[in-house]
């Protein structure tokens, strides 16, 4: 008719119903149980009661949307569970690393660090040797005031002891001896006693299982004496090989 303008919509310019539903479902704006939550084209109660199985038969786009949301939900649950396990493993790894760091224990000491040779002993009674020069005391297990090493934790330890003595002149009695002991009980004892040598030395190395708080020390027996200077002929060394707790 003259004076009237006719408008014709080109439907290719607009997305299809199925595309729109999928888009809205992904945005979480539409419930998959009822994709037309605002009433839909008809708004009938019969459409609202349609179950998901019937929707998959009657509306493939809506069915695909719901399945996609379910898959995304399962992926989220799997991701969250995996993340929780990774966080727990990270905590366990950090605790193990901190435990290893805390259990590091190593010490190495010498009798003296004097410029001139001096001797320790002999004494009328057994006497614990206090090694005064400290090379290393990792973990602070060795007490230079008492000469005692205290094991920080259960484990296998390597312990080494070297003794040296100088009789002063040929023909004098030489007595380079000492005993390694744990909690007052003798474990091993290097010893060199004779009148043929002016000077001599002896060494031992042992691996022992120690409990936490066990006391390791070196005893100087009656009649024995040790001589040392900054050359460090007399040494006492120990370190943790591996913890057992």
Question: What CATH number has the domain bearing residue 185?
Answer: 2.60.120.40
Q: Are residues 206 and 233 in the same domain?
A: yes
- Phi and psi at 167, nearest 5°, equal -70, -15
**Is the CB of residue 120 less than 8 Å from the CB of residue 129?**
yes
Q: Are residues 128 and 236 in the same domain?
A: yes
Domain boundary pick from 37, 72, 100: 100
User: So what's the pLDDT on residue 36?
Assistant: 44
Q: Are residues 204 and 125 in the same domain?
A: yes
Domain boundary pick from 100, 116, 151: 100
Q: Which two tokens stand for residue 190?
A: 């290097």
Residue 1 lies in a domain: no
Residue 2 lies in a domain: no
Answer with the residue of higher pLDDT: 123 or 101: 123
Count of structural domains, the chain: 2
Q: Are residues 173 and 204 in the same domain?
A: yes
User: So what's the pLDDT on residue 48?
Assistant: 47
| Nearest-angstrom CA–CA distance, 208 and 182 | 10
Report if pTM > 0.85: no
Contacts with 14 (C-beta within 8 Å, 6 or more apart), sequence order: none
Answer with the residue of higher pLDDT: 4 or 140: 140
**Closest to 165 in 3D by CA, of 155, 156, 177, 157:** 177
Q: Which two tokens stand for residue 86?
A: 């990774």
Q: Are residues 118 and 71 in the same domain?
A: no
Residue 37 lies in a domain: yes
Alpha helices in the chain (DSSP H): 17-26, 45-48, 52-58, 60-103
Range of lowest pLDDT (50-54, 101-105, 176-180):
50-54
Q: Are residues 109 and 95 in the same domain?
A: no
Q: Are residues 95 and 118 in the same domain?
A: no
Residue-range definition of the domain harbouring residue 193? 104-243
Would you say residue 65 has pLDDT above 90?
Answer: no
Neighbours of 165 (CB within 10 A): 29
Q: Are residues 96 and 122 in the same domain?
A: no
Q: Are residues 87 and 23 in the same domain?
A: yes
Domain boundary pick from 66, 100, 134: 100
Calculate helix-pair angle for 60-103, 17-26, nearest 10 degrees. Answer: 20
**Is the CB of residue 200 less than 8 Å from the CB of residue 194?**
yes
DSSP 167-207: -SSTTS-EEEE-EEEETTEEEE--EEEESS-SEEEEEEEEE
Residue 3 lies in a domain: no
């Amino acid at each position: 008719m003259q004076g009237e303008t006719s408008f014709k919509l080109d439907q290719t310019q607009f997305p299809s119903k199925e595309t729109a539903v999928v888009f809205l479902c992904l945005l979480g704006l539409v419930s998959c149980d009822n994709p037309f939550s605002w009433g839909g084209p008809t708004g009938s109660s019969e459409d609202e009661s349609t179950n998901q199985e019937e929707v998959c038969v009657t509306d493939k786009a809506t069915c695909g949307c719901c399945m996609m949301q379910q898959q995304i939900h399962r992926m989220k649950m799997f991701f969250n569970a995996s993340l929780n396990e990774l966080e727990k493993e990270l905590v366990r790894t950090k605790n193990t690393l901190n435990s290893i760091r805390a259990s590091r224990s190593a010490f190495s000491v010498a009798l003296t660090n004097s410029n001139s040779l001096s001797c320790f002993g002999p004494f009328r009674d057994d006497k614990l040797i206090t090694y005064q020069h400290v090379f290393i005391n990792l973990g602070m297990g060795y007490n230079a005031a008492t000469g005692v090493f205290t094991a920080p934790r259960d484990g296998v330890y390597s312990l080494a002891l070297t003794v040296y003595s100088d009789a002063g002149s040929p023909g004098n009695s030489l007595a380079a001896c000492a005993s390694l002991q744990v909690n007052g009980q003798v474990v091993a004892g290097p010893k060199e006693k004779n009148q043929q040598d002016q000077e001599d030395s002896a060494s031992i190395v042992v691996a022992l299982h120690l409990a936490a708080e066990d006391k390791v020390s070196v005893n100087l027996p009656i009649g024995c004496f040790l001589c040392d200077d900054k050359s460090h002929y007399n040494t006492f060394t120990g370190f943790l090989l591996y913890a057992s707790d």
